[in-house]
């Protein structure tokens, strides 16, 4: 199963595509990277750029499933949740336009799946991804590790 995980953001959106073989529990990295969006541009411009870049990534990687993190926020960060909601909407639209099924996963579920701890840090997630995918070092920026963790969690869950 090929899964594209996307870590939503309007400054940096991480993405990671993996192949997962359920018969031997083998996970292989296909591609990972970061979509860097200029914070000096308007939100609408960045959303448009995110959508176009995601369309290209979907076309290049040909996933069977898209996975995205649900929004989690504290009451102090309502504005952040709103911005992430916009980015998630674009990700959902790109998946729907490509006729791909979508899986939404909570941050705690991703962390627990990857490390056994629902409160794991970004560094711990990076190390878990590095180990699972047999990489030399954690992907940089951490948004890429997060996206790969989303994809891995979704693949194992299916």
Catalytic residues: 7, 69, 143
DSSP string covering 39-66, please? TTS-HHHHHHHHHHHHHHHHHHH--SEE
Length in residues, the chain: 158
Report the first-to-last Cα separation within the chain, whole angstroms. 9
Does the N-terminal peptide bond of residue 96 adopt cis geometry, omega within 30 degrees of 0? no
Backbone phi and psi for residue 117, each to the nearest 5 degrees, phi listed first: -130, 115
Exposed / middle / buried, residue 146 (Cβ in 10 Å: 0-12, 13-18, 19+): buried
Q: Are 1 and 65 in contact (CB under 8 A)?
A: yes
């Amino acid at each position: 199963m090929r899964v594209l995980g996307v870590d939503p953001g309007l400054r940096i959106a991480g993405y990671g595509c993996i192949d997962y073989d359920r018969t031997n529990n083998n996970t292989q990295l296909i591609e990972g990277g970061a979509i860097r969006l200029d914070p000096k541009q308007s939100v609408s411009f960045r959303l448009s750029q995110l959508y176009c870049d995601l369309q290209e990534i979907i076309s290049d990687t040909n996933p069977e499933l898209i996975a995205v993190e649900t929004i989690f926020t504290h009451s102090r960060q309502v504005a952040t949740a709103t911005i992430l909601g916009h980015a998630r909407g674009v990700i959902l639209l790109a998946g729907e336009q490509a006729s791909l099924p979508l899986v939404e996963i909570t941050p705690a579920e991703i962390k627990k799946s990857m490390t056994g701890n629902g409160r794991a840090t970004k560094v711990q997630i990076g190390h878990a991804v590095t180990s699972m995918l047999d990489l030399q070092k954690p992907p940089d920026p951490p948004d890429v590790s997060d996206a790969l963790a989303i994809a891995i969690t979704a693949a194992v869950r299916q």
